[in-house]
Amino acid sequence: MRSKLPQVGTTIFTVMTRMAQAHNAINLSQGFPDFDCPAALRERVSFYLNDRRNQYAPMTGVPALREQIAVKVEDLYGCRVDADQEITVTSGATEALFDAIQATVGTGDEVIMFDPAYDSYDPAVRLAGGVPVHIPMRAPAAGQGWGIDWDCFAERITARTRLVIINSPHNPSGSILTRQDLDTLAALIRDRDILVLSDEVYEHMVFDGSRHESVLRHAELKEKSFAVFSFGKTYHATGWKAAYCVAPPALTDEFRKVHQFVTFTSTSFIQHAIADFMRDCPEDHLELPDFYQQKRDTFARLIADSRFSFTPSAGTYFQCVDYSAISDQDDMNFVTWLCKEKGVAAIPLSPFCADTPRSRVIRFCFCKDDSTLEAAAAVLREL
């Protein structure tokens, strides 16, 4: 059989979680919390599960949920969106990313992405017949985090460029885009038939007083962007696979043409429950930056005396570290050794890059109970 994705194997997240389970390692690899979602939200899920809300929800999402999303978007980003024409609920952010790519990319269209890039982007582009164009991000230096080389981006734009994918807060690097970054992007694609897919699933995990710069806050980019968000990340419920996409009506129409034949709709009782929770507990997501900054600071303090070098992440619940003072192995071999021999699982960065990175950098996940972080750090400090 001829494969449509001959270079694609099992995602690195599945590989490392399986390895962690097989070797009883502390799992700081795959990005899921080891604590539960809010009790009030679980109560609403139970209520609707037992309230006969178990049949198909509308294809676009439960109206009450889309209305609450519209309220949140306006509150956070000063952007009014139409709940009926501009918001679609999806079965996870990966589905939303896939739908947006399939809706806009055709044979031979080029899609620019920035490495290290989340590993679903490239295969989705290839399945659409598009051509992924990978641009390496600037590596951290002198206390600065990862960043986009906009001069390089400008050089790589061609007549076939159809879409650019941005991700902020950024997985795996933990960097964030600034307003200046968005202004630069807008200027470079102005008067061109280029759309933006903005992966913003970690929107509430921005630290040190910084502000998440959504494309929805940018009047020019909003009109040509798909913005993707995740309830699973926000409410510590990654297993629910609940997310949504916000886009202008014309883009949403095309998005929904694909969505209806990918999942059609998402779990009904979960949608009703989230709608209630957003209405009744609007402060919950506002508390996340402080919550996760404390997690970041705890993990950073615990490994400060290790031989890993790092700059504390500016966003997400991931911390990248340089292990070159510990080993000269490539990142895949290093994380395999770390998991099997030392009992801590991490994620290598090479699967996020088209070209093997020269640096010795891996990613740890700190959305864990403090006891989990302490146990892992005790091992890491001994390396």
Tell me: pLDDT of 358 over 90. no
Which pLDDT value is given to residue 139?
Answer: 79
The contacts of residue 321 (CB under 8 Å, 6+ apart) are: 303, 308, 309, 310, 361, 362, 363, 364
Q: Which of 302, 282, 368 is nearest to 74 (CA)?
A: 282
Tell how strand 225-230 and strand 243-246 pair up.
antiparallel
Torsion of CA 134, 138, 140, 142, to 10 degrees: 170
Sorting pLDDT into bands at 50, 70 and 90, what band is 276? very high
Residues 242 and 314 in one domain: no
Measured distance CA(361)–CA(324) in Å, rounded: 8
The pLDDT of 340-353, averaged and rounded, is 95
Tell me: pLDDT of 7 over 90. no
Output the six-digit token pair for 201.
């699933």
Which pLDDT value is given to residue 359?
Answer: 78
Domain presence at residue 336: yes
Measured distance CA(20)–CA(6) in Å, rounded: 27
Tell me: pLDDT of 143 over 60. no
Tell how strand 161-167 and strand 110-115 pair up.
parallel
Indicate the SS3 state at residue 202.
Answer: coil
Residues 59 and 158 in one domain: yes
Burial of 324 (0-12, 13-18, 19+ CB in 10 A): middle
Residues 272 and 310 in one domain: no
Domain presence at residue 356: yes
Which pLDDT value is given to residue 141?
Answer: 64
Q: Per mean pLDDT, which range of 10-14, 57-61, 213-217, 307-311 is the poorest?
A: 10-14
Sorting pLDDT into bands at 50, 70 and 90, what band is 344? very high
Residues 86 and 226 in one domain: yes
List beta partners, residue 363: 320, 347
CATH number of the domain within which 135 lies: 3.40.640.10
Residues 49 and 167 in one domain: yes
Which pLDDT value is given to residue 346?
Answer: 96
Residues 230 and 105 in one domain: yes
Output the six-digit token pair for 82.
């139409």
Which pLDDT value is given to residue 145?
Answer: 72
**Neighbouring C-beta atoms of residue 129, cutoff 10 Å:** 12
The alpha carbons of the chain give a radius of gyration, in whole angstroms, of 20
For 68-103, the pLDDT digits (tens) are: 999 999 999 999 999 999 999 999 999 999 999 999
For 9-46, the pLDDT digits (tens) are: 889 999 989 999 999 999 999 988 999 999 999 999 99
Q: How many domains is the chain partitioned into structurally?
A: 2
**Neighbouring C-beta atoms of residue 292, cutoff 10 Å:** 21
Residues 17 and 47 in one domain: no
List beta partners, residue 227: 198, 246
> Is residue 340 within 8 Å of 332, Cβ to Cβ?
no
Domain presence at residue 2: no
Residues 307 and 268 in one domain: no
The pLDDT of 124-143, averaged and rounded, is 89
The pLDDT of 140-163, averaged and rounded, is 88
For 221-261, the pLDDT digits (tens) are: 999 999 999 999 999 999 999 999 999 999 999 999 999 99
Domain assignment of residue 340, given as a range: 12-37+286-380
pTM across the whole model: 0.96
Domain presence at residue 152: yes
| CA geometry: angle 82, 85, 91, nearest 5 deg | 105
Domain endpoint, select from 280, 302, 317: 280
CATH number of the domain within which 352 lies: 3.90.1150.10
Residues 181 and 325 in one domain: no
Domain presence at residue 5: no
Domain presence at residue 349: yes
Measured distance CA(345)–CA(370) in Å, rounded: 16
Tell me: pLDDT of 142 over 70. no
Which pLDDT value is given to residue 8?
Answer: 86
142 or 326, higher pLDDT: 326
Residues 53 and 133 in one domain: yes
Average pLDDT, the chain: 95
